[in-house]
Chains A and B, each alone.
Chain A
Amino acid sequence: MKISETDVEYVAKLANLEVHKDEKKELAQQLSRIVEHVEQLSTLDVSAVAPTYQVVSNTKIAIREDRVQLRTGSSEAGKTVKLFKVPKVITER
């Protein structure tokens, strides 16, 4: 098997996921099968090929003028409230 249950545990930790004990075996098997399939890419020589992150590049937003604007298009949120109340995230130990 390509991906072990230990790998699943490790990757789950990186992804901030908790995986049930009984799910681990099944996930390891399924991910192994998928990884075996994607390994076919290793047969291609791409040493001289550039990666494609984005396909269409005629965008202009990236250099928008640095000017204060209302944050959201159709949202009233920014107009009606000044603060958002959120639940406490830091607890005492």
Chain B
Amino acid sequence: MNLKNITADRLVSLYANRDLSVTEVITSVFDEIDRSDGNIRAFITLCRERALEEARRTDSRIAAEEPLSALTGVPVAIKDNMNLRDIPTTCGSKMLANYVPPYTATAVERLRSAGAIIIGKTNMDEFAMGSSTENSSFFATRNPHDLERVPGGSSGGSAASVAAGMSVVALGSDTGGSIRQPASFCGVVGMKPTYGRVSRYGLVAYASSLDQIGPFTKSVRECAQVLETMCGFDHYDSTSADTPVDSFVKILDQPMKDIRIGIPREYFIEGMDPEVKANVQSAIRRYETMGCKIEEISLPHTEHAVATYYLIATAEASSNLARYDGVRYGLRETGTGGLAEMYRKTRMTGFGKEVKRRILLGTYALSAGYYDAYYLKALKVRTLILQDFQKAFEKVNIILTPTTPTPAFKIGEKTADPLSMYLSDIFTITCNLSGLPGISVPCGKTSANLPVGMQLIANHFQESLLLQVAHNFEKAGGFGNVSQ
């Protein structure tokens, strides 16, 4: 059975008709992982026994004619910074290599309640800090489309698992593009909802005012279904939005009405890969033929987004990661010098290079004498970036951009120069700073057969509209190959 071409909704209907058993599907998921993951290395931990046991139980419920839920028997992989009770949450770090959480994240729990079966925990850049999954303390993940290239990051393992047919759905987290960028590099759908839509309870914090959980899928319909299942108020997350969740799935097939798509001129920059540009432009033309109004817009503070992001995210990270001191979680390195030495030694051994770099940068930005010049300044520029979008949404209701300036880059290409790695997030970062929902959908391939993604952005809590516009593109044949 090839899971590369099968969607979650199709699986559920095959189960309902008794054409396929959940056990068969879960077994073939692990067969595929055994075949392919030696090369791709998407998974840190597999939940083989547990998943097969759940599959058998689900099959008996189906045999007893119990009603099926939206995600019954759907194999789901989750990024290793989300808690699943009694299974390690490593966060791709030596610091948490042996940390076993006593509870399950709300987002994961909601998928399980809808029948999903968690098959494993996926590789990631350590503490979600990175854009290539090369910063994992354990191993790098490879792009299923070209094993010499990165899958993107930080949710690279999740993106690669869906692209390679080793899972049907995967969850990632997105702080500066960590779902949308790997989705683009791996040729799958990836979405970051509005900040506050999905509970962060049970997600290991990187930058709390920016982090959101979201899905990776092959189609927009599955994305809508998974998101609809996860979204909604949770009193265990103090930033959870108390906003009603519509049915994202129901609205998908309704005809698009009065769609005005803004194309920000600042997102078509010099140095952008010409094939990425050509594919995104052909997507814009397709929307035009579908009757959407296309307008050029300006988001003038875009050029400051990377600088703003790296000050705010690292400042928040330096505070969030202060808790890893050898006392409460995971690793402990003891010495002879007492408590202070134990803290320092634990943190020196437990954290990798990029994490240390970001903690240092964040601590610097918050330190006496620099707070106003760096951190506070960045928070003010964040306001300007948000205002750019608010102005744009007075004229248009969707914004379309490339997801990334280039297709997937080679392994090792950017590791020596952290700043060049940071700049690969240039188009995705603004959504996090302004809390807006963004989705990356495949819009073609380059001549080297590498996937290209386009990003659609909507106003706060406009997920229904965003998914509908993305779905209509897919329906119009959008996920095919438009290589030059």
Contact = CB atoms under 8 A, between A and B. Distances in A.
B460 interface: yes
Interface string B340-360: 101111011001010011011
A54 B332 CA distance: 34
Interface residues of A, number: 52
A87 B328 CA distance: 10
A11 B367 contact: yes
A60 B103 CA distance: 23
A41 to B, nearest CB: 5
A25 to B, nearest CB: 14
Contacts of A37: 306-307, 310, 419
Nearest to B434: A55
A44 interface: yes
A56 B378 CA distance: 18
B343 A59 contact: no
What DSSP secondary structure best describes chain B's contact surface?
helix
B331 interface: no
A46 B307 contact: no
A59 B303 CA distance: 31
A31 B242 CA distance: 40
Contacts of B233: 60
A43 to B, nearest CB: 9
Nearest to B345: A18
Nearest to A36: B419
Contacts of A42: 373, 377
A86 B238 contact: no
A59 B241 contact: yes
B84 to A, nearest CB: 10
A61 B237 CA distance: 8
Given A52-B386, A59-B196, A34 B419 contact: yes
B110 to A, nearest CB: 11
Contacts of B434: 55
Given A18-B347, A56-B195, A75 B304 contact: no
Given A89-B327, A93-B338, 8 more contacts: A3-B364, A34-B418, A37-B310, A40-B304, A41-B381, A42-B377, A49-B380, A52-B386
